[in-house]
Chains A and B, each alone.
Chain A
Amino acid sequence: MSSVYTRPLARLIDQLQRLPGIGPKTAQRLALYLIKRPEADIQALAQALLEAKQQVGLCSVCFHLSAEPVCDICASPQRDNHLLCVVADSRDVIAIEKTREYHGKYHVLGGLISPLEGITPEHLHIQPLIQRASQAQVKEVILAINPSIEGETTTLYVGQLLRPFVKVTRIAFGLPVGGDLDYADEMTLARALAGRREIEWQ
């Protein structure tokens, strides 16, 4: 299929096509756009890509994306140490931060439990969460995880593990089943945070 492109162009299109949400047509459009840009622009883009990859790691406390060993949120003296908000992904931290309604700290699990994809609790940052949550200053852990079937299971599982140490609540989703946190508008998220409730255990 790629024989219609000269080889370096085909390689670029192939790389772009591996990105989420990019189909063959978009990849072609982006590639043709990119090769027309001045070389300095492309250098800057390549540099930014490399530096982001090399310099951005995970915060050693909350596992949010961070260039420093401890992220800005964890390091901030203004953030409330009594509250811990547990999310699946760094995207969710960003979504909640945009609401400016939450002033506690975060913990990023790094995914959701899914036997089908081979993701077990050991693959997620659950042990460090238990250690953090069992510290005396933490008064409440808020689970803010998408209400998909995997999200619900992760909420239940993590909630059960935390219960002996701390009060556990979950945010009240007015979101559709399977809806994503980062698609929720900011008002919805703010309301959900305000209306959090304790988990119903069976």
Chain B
Amino acid sequence: MFLKSLHLRHFRNYSEQLVTFAAPKTIVVGDNAQGKSNLLEAVEWLATLQSHRTHRDRDLIQQGQESAQIEATLERQGVPLDLAVSLRPLAGRVLRVNGCTVKRTAEFLGQLNAVEFSCLDLELVRGTPTIRRNWLDRILVQLEPLYSQVLQTYQKALRQRNALLKQAGSQGWDEALWQAWNQQLVINGTRIIRRRQRLIERLAPLAQDWHWVLSGARETLTLTYESHVPLGDGTSEAIVAAFNEALAARRAIELLQKTSLVGPHRDDVGFCLNEQSARHFASQGQQRTLVLALKLAELALVESVVGDTPLLLLDDVLAELDLQRQGILLEVMGDRYQTLITTTHLAPFGTPWRQQAQILKVTAGTIASVPDTAAQTSD
């Protein structure tokens, strides 16, 4: 798929900005806090209806404004596609596909697919479990449009159950009510666990292949979904039974801590290199190789599932990769994936990167197209 243009209105620090994309690679150069990442964030939002930088729509709207708009024109397998969103914290979101308002997020998700690789992803191995869960969820939202709704339903059940736990001391205990909320947590939690587990199963062989190549055929990467609920044979029935058992077992401690301790909101992803935990033993270089392998696997998976090349968003990450890893990434990308790259300096890019790349310069929320040479001298 190809993103032809992006029109931002009152989005982050952009008052009004039209960007036209003219080449497979676009390098967006600018100092920090000028709005480079905001541009990629807008694309990410169209792909996932969320941002990895904030949960609140309010944060995406320019200060002093009531709403923000993102409009995109795309081409998908030769067919034009227009996407538009309007973010209004007071009145809700409006999503439009080809000019028609869609009621359900599932009708919007999956129209634009993007794989994002940002410097935050470098924390995937060593960072908190939340980073790894969010990574899985962002992929699933694009691959399985219903997932977004399943996830929201689970989160709602979780918040309600936590509220009930907080009130447990002050009010009489209603066992039937507790069981009703447990059942909601289990039904919806099981859906999340199964979908995440299935994603890991599909990603694992792809990531293993890439890591094997990137490590010079020295390291075998294994991915596992680490759930608090034993998965058994992986069927819904098995997970539901195990989930109920785990809830019964942790009941006393949940009541004491007044929060839900069992469920996919506590799960994690395990990475092992040659059967050793990468979280504990991998060097920084190995971690970067691993993350690159994960991202290349993600790219391949999204492409095979949606049957089209996703956009690749490289946010401030290339400078973090050495020349060899940059070279591999470039080779994989070729001109097949439309790629948007942000960077503070053009210097780390070799000529192959800049070849035929469109270069945009961002200054305080304004984007200007610049010829390569001009950007070079202003560097």
- A interface residues (Cβ-Cβ under 8 A, vs B): 23, 113-116, 118, 120-121, 149-150, 152-154, 156-157, 160-161, 176-178, 202
Which chain B positions have C-beta within 8 A of A23?
90-91
- Interchain CB contact under 8 A, B104 and A156: no
Q: Closest CB-CB distance, B371 to chain A, in whole Å?
A: 47
Query: B-side binding surface: helix, strand, loop or mixed?
Result: helix
- B interface residues (Cβ-Cβ under 8 A, vs A): 90-91, 104, 149, 153, 156-157, 159-161, 163-164, 166-167, 171, 174, 176-177, 179-181, 183-184, 186, 188, 240, 244
Which chain A positions have C-beta within 8 A of B186?
202
Which chain A positions have C-beta within 8 A of B156?
149
Which chain A positions have C-beta within 8 A of B159?
116
Query: A-side binding surface: helix, strand, loop or mixed?
Result: helix
Q: Kindly report which residue of chain B lies nearest to residue A159, judged by CB atoms.
A: B180
Q: Kindly report which residue of chain B lies nearest to residue A153, judged by CB atoms.
A: B180
23 chain-A/chain-B pairs, Cβ below 8 angstroms:
A23-B90, A113-B180, A115-B164, A116-B163, A120-B174, A121-B174, A121-B177, A149-B153, A149-B157, A149-B188, A152-B184, A153-B157, A153-B177, A153-B180, A153-B181, A153-B183, A156-B183, A157-B176, A157-B180, A161-B176, A176-B104, A202-B240, A202-B244
- Interchain CB contact under 8 A, A177 and B153: yes
User: Given the complex of chains A and B, what is the CA–CA distance between A118 and B183 in angstroms?
Assistant: 20
Q: Kindly report which residue of chain B lies nearest to residue A176, judged by CB atoms.
A: B104
5 smallest beta-carbon distances between A and B, as pairs: A115-B163, A115-B164, A157-B180, A156-B180, A149-B156
Which chain B positions have C-beta within 8 A of A113?
177, 180
- Interchain CB contact under 8 A, B160 and A153: yes
Q: Closest CB-CB distance, A102 to chain B, in whole Å?
A: 26
Q: Which of B149, B177, B244 has the most CB of A within 10 A?
A: B177
User: Given the complex of chains A and B, what is the CA–CA distance between A150 and B159 in angstroms?
Assistant: 11
- Interchain CB contact under 8 A, B183 and A202: yes
Q: Closest CB-CB distance, B256 to chain A, in whole Å?
A: 18
- Interchain CB contact under 8 A, B91 and A114: no
Question: Provided the pairs A114-B160, A115-B167, A116-B160 are in contact, do residues A157 and B177 lie with their beta carbons within 8 angstroms?
Answer: yes
Q: Kindly report which residue of chain B lies nearest to residue A147, judged by CB atoms.
A: B153
Which chain B positions have C-beta within 8 A of A154?
180
Question: Provided the pairs A23-B91, A115-B164, A152-B184 are in contact, do residues A177 and B177 lie with their beta carbons within 8 angstroms?
Answer: no
Q: Closest CB-CB distance, B147 to chain A, in whole Å?
A: 13
Q: Closest CB-CB distance, B319 to chain A, in whole Å?
A: 44
- Interchain CB contact under 8 A, A160 and B160: no
Which chain A positions have C-beta within 8 A of B183?
153, 156, 202
User: Given the complex of chains A and B, what is the CA–CA distance between A156 and B175 in angstroms?
Assistant: 13
